[in-house]
């Protein structure tokens, strides 16, 4: 069993997690979200500075929570991409310094795969082979996962906005605040998801022929904006619920189609949007009907955290993947195909 410390700084969370094999020992998160809220989105320079300021304390707290010292740590894992370049570099530099000072291996890991890897903590589930629906603020993809540490293939991705980005934009248009996903989720509870039948992007037969597993949320965003403009006194909760239903419906339709086509009967849903209560509920219903084994990490581990990075580092060690070179950089646009640097 390896004791792995994972560092995550790809966006606005400075996060450190510690795992012992698949056991979660600590998960400390310091978020700069409040510094970005008035801009309606994350300001990269502000995020980078916040990471610098928070990092030492977050590492100390994670060690304290797990009851281990730096000397006990067997390996350091860090998100090397994708994400905001300045923010990523704070994490990669911190991790490289720790690796050098402690003389312990460094694993630069992919943020997207890490979102999926967190599903393996504190259980003995076998993740692969699986279809993964990865839905976050920056990405929305359907992936074929043969081995999470070594073999992940993209079946489809969004051709415009990411699912979380669509939640954030609609919340802004509705004046709900930032980040929008959790606010729309809350607003939609007990509301009518069939109030407006908003469009389901890339689901017509003609679109499916070209974009079977791709997503598009920009048409939906325009439809919601137009509805709001043309409907004074509209009920926020019902519009939020109808928007959410349109997103969730498309995500699940395409994920289940991917399971069917590949004959893979495991579906993992991961990333910040996997915290959405309607997505979790409808996924359970539809997977039961389709006899697909569904796995979604606990809500608290869906949005960005350090435990997921440590989990993927730990998995890489188990799979015998070689450590990264000291001196690795960060890649803001890293593809999912690059799991370990
Ligand atoms: O994975 P994540 O923490 O960061 C990225 O890697 O992007 O995802 C953040 C995204 C944001 O767009 C946020 O609005 C969305 O996840 N999100 C949600 C919920 N919680 C977070 N979207 C819908 N429902 C939620 N409950
Ligand atoms: Zn993320």
Q: How far apart are CA 252 and CA 49, in angstroms?
A: 38
Q: What is the pLDDT of residues 180-190, one digit of tens each?
A: 999 999 999 99
Tokens 């796995």 sit on residue: 295
Q: Are 6 and 311 in contact (CB under 8 A)?
A: yes
- 2 band by pLDDT with thresholds 50, 70 and 90: very high
Which residue out of 15, 221, 273 has the highest number of ligand 1 atoms within 8 Å of its CB and is therefore the one to mutate? Answer: 273
Asked if residues 166 and 247 have their Cβ atoms less than 8 Å apart, the reply is yes
Best residue among 36, 111, 167 to mutate for probing ligand 1, ranked by most atoms within 8 Å of CB = 167
Q: Is 296 in the pocket of ligand 1 (CB under 6 A)?
A: no
Locate all alpha helices (DSSP H) within 2-110, ordered by sequence.
33-36, 44-66, 85-102
First CA to last CA distance, the chain: 22
How many residues are there in the chain?
Answer: 341
pLDDT of 126 strictly over 90: no
Strands 293-295 and 151-157: unpaired
The predicted structure's pLDDT at residue 40: 83
Q: Which CATH number fits domain 3-119+301-318: 3.30.420.40, 3.60.9.10, 3.40.50.300, 3.30.70.260?
A: 3.30.420.40
Q: How many Å separate Cα 3 from the centre of its chain?
A: 23
Assess whether the C-beta atom of 185 lies below 6 angstroms from ligand 1: yes
Helix H or strand E encompassing 159: none
Q: What is the pLDDT of residues 275-320, one digit of tens each?
A: 999 999 999 999 999 999 999 999 999 999 999 999 999 999 999 9
Is 304 near ligand 1, meaning CB less than 6 Å away?
yes
Mutation test of ligand 1: which of 303, 309, 332, 336 has the most ligand atoms closer than 8 Å to its C-beta? 303
Strand pairing report for 293-295 and 75-81: unpaired
For the Cβ of 137 lying below 6 angstroms from any atom of ligand 1, the answer is yes
Beta strands in the chain (DSSP E): 3-8, 13-20, 23-31, 75-81, 106-110, 130-135, 140-147, 151-157, 266-270, 293-295
Residues of CATH 3.30.420.40 domain(s) within the chain? 3-119+301-318, 129-296
Residue 92 pLDDT: 98
Please give the CATH number for the structural domain made up of 129-296: 3.30.420.40
What is the Cα 19 distance to its own chain's centre? 19
pLDDT in tens, 178-233: 999 999 999 999 999 999 999 999 999 999 999 999 999 999 999 999 999 999 99
Cα of 44 to ligand 2 centre, how many Å? Answer: 15
């Amino acid at each position: 069993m390896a004791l792995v410390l994972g560092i995550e700084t790809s966006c606005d969370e400075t996060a450190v997690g510690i795992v012992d094999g698949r056991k979660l020992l600590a998960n400390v998160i310091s978020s700069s979200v409040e510094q970005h809220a008035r801009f309606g989105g994350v300001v990269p320079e502000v995020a980078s500075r916040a990471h610098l300021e928070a990092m030492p304390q977050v590492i100390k707290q994670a060690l304290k929570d797990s009851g281990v010292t730096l000397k006990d740590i067997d390996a350091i894992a860090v998100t090397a991409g994708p994400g905001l370049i300045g923010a990523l570099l704070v994490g990669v530099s911190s991790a490289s310094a720790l690796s050098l000072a402690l003389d312990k291996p460094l694993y630069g890991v992919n943020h997207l795969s890490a979102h999926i890897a967190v599903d393996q903590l504190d259980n003995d589930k076998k993740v692969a082979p699986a279809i993964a629906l990865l839905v976050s603020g920056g990405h929305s993809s359907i992936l074929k996962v043969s081995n999470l540490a070594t073999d992940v293939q993209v079946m489809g991705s969004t051709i415009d906005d990411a699912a979380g980005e669509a939640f954030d934009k609609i919340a802004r248009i509705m004046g709900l605040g930032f980040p929008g996903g959790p606010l729309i989720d809350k607003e939609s509870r007990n509301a009518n998801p069939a109030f407006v039948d908003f469009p389901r992007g890339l689901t017509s037969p003609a679109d499916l022929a070209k974009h079977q597993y791709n997503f598009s949320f920009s048409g939906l965003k325009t439809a919601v904006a137009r509805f709001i403009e043309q409907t004074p006194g509209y009920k926020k909760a019902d519009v939020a619920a109808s928007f959410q239903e349109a997103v969730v419906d498309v995500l699940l339709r395409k994920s289940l189609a991917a399971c069917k086509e590949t004959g893979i009967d495991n579906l993992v849903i991961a990333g910040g949007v996997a915290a959405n209560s309607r997505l979790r509920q409808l996924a359970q219903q539809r997977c039961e009907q389709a006899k697909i084994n569904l796995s979604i990490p606990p809500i608290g581990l869906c949005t960005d955290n350090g435990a997921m990075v440590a989990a993927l580092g730990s998995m890489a060690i188990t799979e015998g993947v070689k450590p990264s070179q000291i001196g690795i950089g960060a890649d803001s646009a890293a593809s999912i195909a690059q799991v370990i640097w």
